[in-house]
Amino acid sequence: MTSQYEAYRREYVAGGLTRDMLDACPIRQFESWLEQAVRAGLKDPTAMALATVGEDGMPWQRIVLLKGLSHGGFVFYTNYGSAKAAAIARNPRVSLLFPWNELDRQIIICGRAEKMSVAESASYFITRPRESQIAAWASRQSRPVSARALLEKQVRVFREKFGKGEIPMPDFWGGYRVMPEQIEFWQGGEHRLHDRFRYRRQADASWSVEQLQP
């Protein structure tokens, strides 16, 4: 039986990618592409899919926001009691995907996630909007809740608790830094002849680059 989705296709015509267009450092190349994504007006240029593997061996993905590049690693923040944090504790090898479809581009990053220091996490936490700080206290991320009203009640509880005073960072919340081992840059091409270049970190911390067939 023919699926109605089989006819959904388009040509990728945003432009090609060649080896001499790439920076020798994939982090600088990423920053260049991210800057272009921002200038192009993408709605969520820092949104990335984070893939982890659970205790049952099942892979899982969710969207998180890139909050910086630190010590050559990709930074995001979360509740340390969340499903993603539990998965990382068991297996720190993760993958990130930036799906910039409007530019016919994607970037795939594979590496190891490591917890950031309390000081680093606190430095970011104090910059968050007040309601986001309260939400971090109110939500026990990934745990079941019987009704949204209960979550909203928790928000009210913490609003009253902190009043107009400073909100401290919860000890169950903080950042991760994904230290990349491989980074692939993908540029869509006509007739499905896409351009793919993969960087691999070498033992001496330098990077090798190879072109991949589409």
Q: Residue 107 belongs to what H/E stretch?
A: strand 105-115
The span from the CA of 183 to the CA of 108, in Å, is: 6
* pLDDT 10s digits, 56-107: 999 999 999 999 998 889 999 999 999 999 999 999 999 999 999 999 999 9
Q: Which of the residues 130, 143, 156, 192 is marked catalytic? A: 192
pLDDT confidence tier of residue 127, bands split at 50, 70 and 90: very high
Q: How far apart are CA 184 and CA 54, in angstroms?
A: 24
pLDDT at 1: 57
Kindly state the DSSP code that residue 203 receives in the 8-state scheme.
T
CA 47 to chain centre: 6
What pLDDT does 12 receive? 63
Distance (Å, whole) CA 40 – CA 190: 21
* Whole-number Cα distances in Å, 1 to 4, 6, 7, 9, 119: 10, 11, 13, 19, 58
Would you call 112 a catalytic residue per the annotation? no
The Cα–Cα gap between 180 and 27 comes to 9
Helices 130-138 and 148-162 sit at what angle, rounded to 10 degrees? Answer: 120
CA 159 to chain centre: 29
> Which one is the CATH code of 14-126+171-212: 3.40.50.10860, 3.40.1110.10, 2.30.110.10, 3.30.310.50?
2.30.110.10
Residue 181 C-alpha from the chain's centroid: 15
- Summarize pLDDT for 131-178 with one digit per residue, the tens: 999 999 999 888 888 899 998 999 999 999 999 999 999 999 999 999
Identify whether the C-beta of residue 190 lies closer than 8 Å to the C-beta of residue 13.
yes
Q: Residues 182-214: pLDDT tens digits? A: 999 999 988 888 999 999 999 999 999 999 999
**pTM (two decimals):** 0.91
Q: Higher-confidence residue: 15 or 202?
A: 202
| Mean of pLDDT values over 35-43 | 97
Between CA 81 and CA 172 the distance in angstroms is 7
Q: How confident is the model over 27-52, as a mean pLDDT?
A: 97
> What gap in Å lies between CA 84 and CA 61, rounded to an integer?
9
Segment (H or E) for 152: helix 148-162
pLDDT bucket at 108, cuts 50 / 70 / 90: very high
| Domain locations along the chain | 14-126+171-212, 127-168
| Rounded Cα–Cα distance for residues 123 and 108 (Å) | 28
